[in-house]
Structure 1
Amino acid sequence: MRRGDGVRRAERPEPLQGLIDRVCGILLSSSAPVMASYMAGQIYSRTARSGRQRLEGETASPPIDAWQRTLSKIKGSDGELAGLMTYLEQIGPYLSWYRSRVGPFASVNFEKSHAHSTILGPGGVEERSDVQLGVTLMAPYCRFPDHFEKQRRVFLFLSAAEACLRDREWMRAEPGTIVFSDAGDKFALRCTSEPVLAVWCQLDDRRR
């Protein structure tokens, strides 16, 4: 992958295809929630055809310390997550980062301590309108605002975190934990001394 190529339609670079393969492979495993596997199957089917690849620089920087700290820790582990992180690190220079607005119960440091990036989807490394796949990064001692999901979404946690779904008890999400949230579900996310890195994906109704 090289910078400056602009928007083009072509075969996917290996890191991008490898990332899609790893994410969908984990979500299609027998240990994944049924709805997460269902969505992964749909995503894998739709991404058989590549979109427009946007190989340009980032628009904002993530919390760099948290990014590098998390990459290094997960890459040093064994299994599927380590392989996934290798591809994510290679794609890293081409990610455009953005931030969410503050909301209910967000930590005071929220604005400066989190970032999102879209890998597949509008404004992503691969521009398309039928699928979204991205990452969320949170620095230590950050809490994401409580919010209601607009669409069905699957989260694959690459590092430890604490999540709360539908106002239930807070759950400990270990690396590799998969959480499915339905449209309309209330969702909350927080972390303590370790940063959070999670992959998320969803289906869009509009086809490109």
Structure 2
Amino acid sequence: MQRPVAPSFRDAVDFLGSEEVSFGPEVLAPKVAQRPTPLQSFLHGIAAVMMSPSAPEIASFIAGKVFHKVAANGSVTTPSVARLSPPGLRGAISILSNYNPFYRDLAANLATFVDDLTWTRGPTGLYASLNFDRNHALTTIWGRQGLEQRADVSVGLVFMEAYSRLPDHIQERSRAFLFLSEAQFTTGDAPWAQASIGTVVGNEVGRNFAVRCTAEPMLMLWCQSEPGRG
């Protein structure tokens, strides 16, 4: 009798590179050239962490290219009405705000524009948790569909409810990650590792990536440069 073939990790699509399903209604909005102060302050905060001497070299290299480009403003969307955010997101931001004064300020800035973001859902996939399709949400802050629309970079957030696991996938782009909550992750063939608030991870193109969380929701920021954009 022939043994069943296990699903191939190499067949898993790039979760952050796939088409997304809308989480809420789209809202037509005007655009302004000037970056709002909370958005600029949030950018300075995440850049300071991801470019710090304690961050892994590969993560700082990837993030450095992104933040160099984002130094120049893009076109900022200003919605006329609030958009839908995932129900548990405010709880994750509250946990972040209680971590220390630096992350309290970062959380406060994020809270001012989080309801202006367009939240979507990505596809489920290999080893994803039960009901993953209803227990997660994605958004882009800087990027093609972002609050600040631009084609040279993508910077976004991944939110998961407690006891969830992101689909295992192979990255089509080199990415840097900043954990804004407790979680566990694995890159390449490495064993699972613990991430706390402020953990920075870099993962190069073509490598495996997986994330899971337990008793608390997960909030994770990611960034990448887009191809053909330097």
When normalised by structure 1's length, the TM-score is 0.91
Q: Deviations over 1:63-98 (max 9, x none)?
A: x1x212111121122143222111111111101111
Alpha-carbon distance between aligned partners in 1 of 2:73 and 2:30, rounded to the nearest angstrom: 13
CA contact (8 A) 2:58 2:203 kept: no
Partner of 1:200: 222
Is 1:37–2:60 an aligned residue pair? yes
Q: What secondary structure, in the 3-state scheme, does the structure 1 residue paired with 2:173 have? A: coil
Q: Which amino acid aligns with 1:21?
A: H
Shift of 1:191: 0.9
Q: RMSD of aligned C-alpha atoms? A: 1.8
Alpha-carbon distance between aligned partners in 1 of 2:127 and 2:59, rounded to the nearest angstrom: 27
Q: Which amino acid aligns with 1:91?
A: F
Partner of 2:44: 21
**Aligned with 2:188 (options 160, 166, 169):** 166
After superposition, residues 109-128 of structure 1 pair within 5 angstroms as: 109-128=131-150
Is 1:68–2:90 an aligned residue pair? yes
CA contact (8 A) 1:119 1:126 kept: yes
Instruction: Flag structure 2 segments of 5+ consecutive residues without an equivalent.
Output: 1-26
Instruction: Flag structure 1 segments of 5+ consecutive residues without an equivalent.
Output: none
Greater strand content: 1
After superposition, residues 1-208 of structure 1 pair within 5 angstroms as: 6-56=29-79, 60-62=84-86, 64=87, 66-207=88-229
Shift of 1:59: 6.0
Tell me which of the two structures has the higher relative contact order, counting C-alpha pairs closer than 8 angstroms and 6 or more residues apart.
2
Q: Which amino acid aligns with 2:29?
A: G
CA contact (8 A) 1:61 1:97 kept: yes
Q: What secondary structure, in the 3-state scheme, does the structure 2 residue paired with 1:145 have? A: coil
Shift of 1:48: 2.1
Shift of 1:58: 6.3
CA contact (8 A) 1:9 1:50 kept: no
Q: Deviations over 1:109-148 (max 9, x none)?
A: 1000000110000111000011111111000111111100
CA contact (8 A) 2:32 2:77 kept: no
When normalised by structure 2's length, the TM-score is 0.83
Shift of 1:5: 8.6
The aligned length equals: 203
Alpha-carbon distance between aligned partners in 2 of 1:60 and 1:146, rounded to the nearest angstrom: 27
Look at both structures and tell me which one has the larger radius of gyration over its CA atoms. Answer: 2
Alpha-carbon distance between aligned partners in 1 of 2:39 and 2:219, rounded to the nearest angstrom: 18
Q: What secondary structure, in the 3-state scheme, does the structure 2 residue paired with 1:116 have? A: strand
Alpha-carbon distance between aligned partners in 1 of 2:133 and 2:82, rounded to the nearest angstrom: 18
CA contact (8 A) 2:178 2:221 kept: yes
CA 1:48–1:61: 2 relative to 1, 3 Å:
closer
CA contact (8 A) 1:7 1:52 kept: no
